[in-house]
Structure 1
């Protein structure tokens, strides 16, 4: 089901299925995008602040986005970011199972372009122990029905 502006309401909740992150995925992402030793080398990472291999925060963000758009929020025209506040309170480690929970906190239809609006979504990514590993408040462009998106 494709979601349009008219399908959203303040307080609406989104939840995804969990996804397990493997050591190989962490290392592959780090090699291509964030080549720091605590993302690349499990043995060297033992001497880091983290005490072991951890996923890049950017990998957590990318996987959270994937969980959102492939699961509960297939927005018409795509999920187009208009700004965000992001934090990573806990690292994601190999074998962690992450899932997202989100809530629409605000919806504003554009006055100048009524075929679209901005939805503010508070999104938290949790691990299998229900610890938040990412907190995101994002503003997303959302198209109205008939907008040609």
Structure 2
């Protein structure tokens, strides 16, 4: 049974798994979406922050959203890229519930405030994001 809004608590931590970053993925993403030299140059190649954020979103969707009564996201409050990500790096994702609130526009839903992090192999954060998710309440009728 999917998790409803009432099943989340402040302090819940979701370990999202790990992702190894490859040279081919960095260059492929950069060519499509962020063709800056730093993301295409083999001498000192680093991943686009948008690529890192998209990888985090994939793990978050698989680890949390696909098992919840998720609706849409009302937004992001903060996004920080803290360290460069290079080919061969292994990043581990984690999301923590930091706030819960009723939705003012959707009484059938509540809003989760979450802090997401991607950590490198030395447990140092390379990306941090504060974001919101709209989750349906258990047994609530649609909008």
TM-score (norm 1): 0.86
| Alignment check: 8 A CA contact 2:91 2:121 kept | yes
Deviations, residues 105-131 of structure 1 (Å, cap 9, x unaligned)? 110012453211111001111111211
**Count of equivalent residues:** 141
- Which of the residues 112, 124, 127 maps onto 2:120? 127
Q: Distance in 2 between matches of 1:3 and 1:126?
A: 26
1:93 aligned residue: 86
Q: Which runs of 5+ in 2 are unaligned?
A: none
SS at match of 1:3: coil
Q: Which runs of 5+ in 1 are unaligned?
A: 44-51
Tell me the C-alpha RMSD between the 2 structures. Answer: 1.8
1:3 aligned residue: 3
1:60 aligns with 2:52: yes
**1:2, CA displacement in angstroms?**
2.6
The 1:72–1:12 alpha-carbon spacing in structure 2 relative to 1, beyond 3 Å, is same
| Alignment check: 8 A CA contact 2:21 2:87 kept | yes
**1:93, CA displacement in angstroms?**
0.7
TM-score (norm 2): 0.89
Q: Distance in 2 between matches of 1:78 and 1:53?
A: 36
